[in-house]
Amino acid sequence: MASPDGFPASFYGEPGVLGMLANGISAFLVLLQNFNEARTGVPPVGVENILAGVHLILIGGICQVVAGLLSFRKYDHLSGTAFIGYASLWGSYGATRIYYGAATETILAQDDMMNNVSTSLMGNQSHINTTSVTPVWLSSLSIQESAISGLVPYILLSFLLAFCSATVNYIMPFVFGAITLTLIFEAVALVANSWASIVAGILELLILIFAIYGSAALLVKGLTQRLALKGFGTPLFNVLLLGTANSASAQGIGQEKKKNTKYAEPMALGSFCDTVSSFIFAFYCFGYMKTFALGVAWVSIISAAQLFATYYAHLRQDCYHATKFGLHVTYWVIKAWEEFVASALIVEANKVSSGREPMVGNWFFVAAALVLCVGSLNTDCLELTHNTLFLLLTISSVSQIPLQGYYIFFGVACSLFTTASLYSTFSRLINTIAEKSLIPVGPQPVSTDQVKRILSCGRSRQGAPSQTDQIPDALFYISNGVAALSALHTSVSSMNSNFLHLTVPWVLISGAIVQGYVSQVQIRGGGRFGSIIPFFYAVVWATWTWFRFAGDLIRFSLMAAHGFTAGAIAFLVINGFLMLIASYRNLVLLFLTTIMEVVLVCFLLSTLQQLPYELEIAMLAIFSIICIYGTLASLVNCIFAERFLPMGQPLLKDQKKQEEKPQLPCPVAESRLTSGLLKITELLEEGGVCGIPTDTVYALAVSCKNPQAIEKIYNIKDRPAEKPICICISSVEQLITAKPPFSPILWEFMRNVYPGGISCIVSKGDWLYKLGVGAAYDRVGTRESIMIRVPDHTVTGHLCDLTGPLAITSANPSGELDSTHHSMVLSRLGSKIQGVLCDGDSNELVASTVVNCLQIDEGTISIVREGCVPAVKVHQIFDRVKSRML
């Protein structure tokens, strides 16, 4: 659905309404339990806790995840990070309630059973032990310790979110601040008397009140497109006050970094999740938690949130962060389930030690962490430090470290990583909100040119790799490498039951679950071979886990083993076809599928009890080495968009017949070619209408030297005559030369918003003739006003320098969605226009934000249309300009 002027109505949706209501209702559910306990003196038990936990997961978790995902699509960094972060909090707290309910139900059931046994045996002289034994991981004390360990990092992060939200508006700080205080008293209530529950209940009531008001304010704003209720649009303090003198002077206000505004940046969310996971592990390693039974739920839920950070990094074509957060998700989930098995199932320290000693899967994480360090050499010091500490973390969790020093080393590494992740969350969030580097992250350790020179080593480089193929490739190699190295063992004697228990999460999570996610990313990316290879290998590793590890534990029958034999033969046949597919891709993938064929032969022999362990060890080790190289090459080539590390040419090449290209409806030109710009310039000079890219969506343009061509635009678009056409120029300097009689505050405002996705409506005058509008004066704008665009787009700016001012409007039939790719312009309007300048995907999904500046001298501006730049941000810029001009 579109609004009357062609703007997607769905953009005006306010996901903050759903997010704040989810927080308010979740707080209300906990409030009811707290007040009921204070009134009756009886804590909630059994089914009551289980039902409360389910509702918290559904409302506070799932509903808020939806709000967070929509916020990321709305380019709202703060709300996206906050809502997904709080979704994991309420989901984890809901899981805690379910654990409490399950624990009390189990204890009550055991007590009833023991009472019945004692009654039936009354009078029997034999001594019968009727003491019930409750698992340690279901004890109330264990659950309390785990819950406190999970709440503490959320308290710190919630405080950061409250602080950061104060730079955006003054409703969210109260909501997030109340949540912070509530979490403090909820943690105290787990170990103290009911007074803490009462205080937490009062704070939860405040959360509900603030959330209802904030939701109402956002809902009215979404419906009316204006700030009818106070609370949004004005921050408590200016985010620029956080910057240092150097960082503030590095860029003028409004001169923002180049960005992909289709989706919000997920870096803060990724660091948020790292903080929670590492903090919980630190508490566990230092002995505060006796078991990881509840900790595994908290870490798994926050890792699911981190998977969203991976996915949105992928959508932003950011292969580095997509790989980094994907690696972290894999590591945290595997370690969480390993500790669950060790603390809740095996328990005894000597058995845990004997089971861990032969495990070597963690060494792949060490190698992958080194690859990330290489990939971050040209970013900033904070990113390199964060990756270095993750490398230390992977080394500290190597299974061959004696158990006496293992947890101390791992705990210290987790503590350091938590500190770095907490600072990274704060700095990334503030810097993305301000769209400037206000919080120091350090300089670039190594320049990009130096890194390229080192990687190239004097070799000639080939063309850029395909983005759609390369982004998921690094994760594909990581997941397979971890699974292969984890599946490696030396002999039957090394496969004791403890080793089998501990190895299951390593192979299953990395090889099957994470690789299943990779296959879905491949589907969305439209890769040449889709998700065939990762999906098939996910099935292989899941089957491997079931037969080789779980099968030995549950002792498969001979008949069941024969069933796996038939499956192994099918795997060999399918992998043969995948080898053929890989031969069309590159040599690294071909080698990988070839080694997998030998690995599958070993799997077949194991089903027949004829496995040569030496061959399997060699093949799995070679498979892992190929995966390490594949990870490094895929990541480096994708980061720098050049083939620095060779993946090998395809062994087979397509022998497709050269098909005749379909006849295009109009001439096209490439934006990256000078000849393409000159071709479009010539068409415009001749009075043609052309589709051109801008910093937002594609536009139809005509030269102001040919005013009669403006009439063509109205006919081409079926545009109502009362809707004016704006003009586009290359820079503010071009406007200054025309000497328009603008006030100082208008000039200052324009300098802060140009170039960019904001269009200003100003008064018309004779200065437009000096600008070069000429005979088109009466055909652009209205009688009294004109809208001026200065796109932040090199191609458009250069085109305006060649042709002079352009009259432009969005390249879509009136009333329909904007065109975000040159193919859309060709298919919808190609037969009616004289040319299209092809530039691929547009930088935005929506048009520019239109600001009425006719009353700016009186101290007011109004938003005519909210576009890619939020109205709140426009008002923030104007407030800063006014404060500087006073």
The pLDDT value given to residue 870: 82
Give ∠ CA 515-520-526 in degrees, rounded to 5.
125
Q: Are 417 and 302 in contact (CB under 8 A)?
A: no
Give the mean model confidence (pLDDT) for residues 741-752.
90
% of the chain residues with pLDDT over 90? 34
pLDDT of 258 over the 50 cut: no
DSSP character string of 404-425:
HHHHHHHHHHHHHHHHHHHHHH
More confident of the two residues 527 and 789: 789
pLDDT tier at 696 (50, 70, 90 boundaries)?
confident
Q: Which two tokens stand for residue 850?
A: 């239109």
pLDDT of 479 over the 80 cut: yes
The pLDDT value given to residue 143: 74
pLDDT of 365 over the 80 cut: yes
Q: Which residue has the tokens 């204006």?
A: 226
For 242-246, 707-711, 790-794, which range has the lowest pLDDT when averaged over its residues?
Answer: 242-246
Task: Give the sheet arrangement for strand 758-763, strand by strand.
Answer: 668-670, 835-838, 690-692, 699-703, 806-810, 726-728, 785-789, 758-763, 849-852, 862-865
For 42-56, 342-356, 451-465, 760-774, which range has the lowest pLDDT when averaged over its residues?
Answer: 451-465
pLDDT tier at 524 (50, 70, 90 boundaries)?
low
Count of CB atoms within 10 A of residue 565's CB?
Answer: 16
For 332-336, 599-603, 661-665, which range has the lowest pLDDT when averaged over its residues?
Answer: 661-665
More confident of the two residues 83 and 558: 83
Q: Which long-range contacts (CB under 8 A, 24 or more apart) does 718-723 make?
A: 718/813, 718/814, 719/809, 719/814, 720/814, 723/5, 723/814
Most distant CA atoms of the chain, gap in Å: 115
More confident of the two residues 203 and 706: 203
pLDDT of 467 over the 60 cut: no
379: left (phi over 0), alpha (psi -120 to 50) or beta: alpha
Identify the top-confidence range among 228-242, 653-667, 817-831: 817-831
More confident of the two residues 686 and 711: 686
Give the mean model confidence (pLDDT) for residues 389-409.
92
Give the mean model confidence (pLDDT) for residues 370-385.
91
Q: What is the pLDDT of residues 499-523, one digit of tens each?
A: 888 888 999 999 999 998 888 877 6
The pLDDT value given to residue 263: 74
Q: What is the pTM of this model?
A: 0.77
Nearest Cα to 667, choosing from 685, 688, 687? 688
**For the chain, how many helices (H) and strands (E)?**
32, 10
Give the mean model confidence (pLDDT) for residues 185-212.
87
More confident of the two residues 333 and 375: 333
The pLDDT value given to residue 876: 83
pLDDT of 396 over the 90 cut: yes
Q: What is the pLDDT of residues 235-254, one digit of tens each?
A: 777 665 665 444 333 333 33
* Strands, E assignment, 38-118: none
Residues 184 and 175: their CA atoms lie apart, in Å, by 15
Give the mean model confidence (pLDDT) for residues 148-165.
92
The pLDDT value given to residue 251: 35
The pLDDT value given to residue 122: 46
Q: Which residue has the tokens 């909090």?
A: 89
pLDDT of 469 over the 60 cut: no
Question: What is the torsion angle, in degrees rounded to the nearest 10, for the CA atoms of residue 571, residue 572, residue 578 and residue 579?
Answer: 160
The pLDDT value given to residue 64: 93
Give the mean model confidence (pLDDT) for residues 90-106.
82
- How confident is the prediction for the chain on average, in pLDDT? 82
Give the mean model confidence (pLDDT) for residues 852-876.
86
Q: What is the pLDDT of residues 272-322, one digit of tens each?
A: 999 999 999 999 999 888 888 889 999 999 999 999 999 988 888 788 999
Return the bridge partners of 761, or none: 787, 852
The pLDDT value given to residue 287: 86
The single-letter code of the amino acid at 326 is G
pLDDT tier at 354 (50, 70, 90 boundaries)?
confident
The pLDDT value given to residue 787: 92
The pLDDT value given to residue 460: 52
Residues 291 and 344: their CA atoms lie apart, in Å, by 6
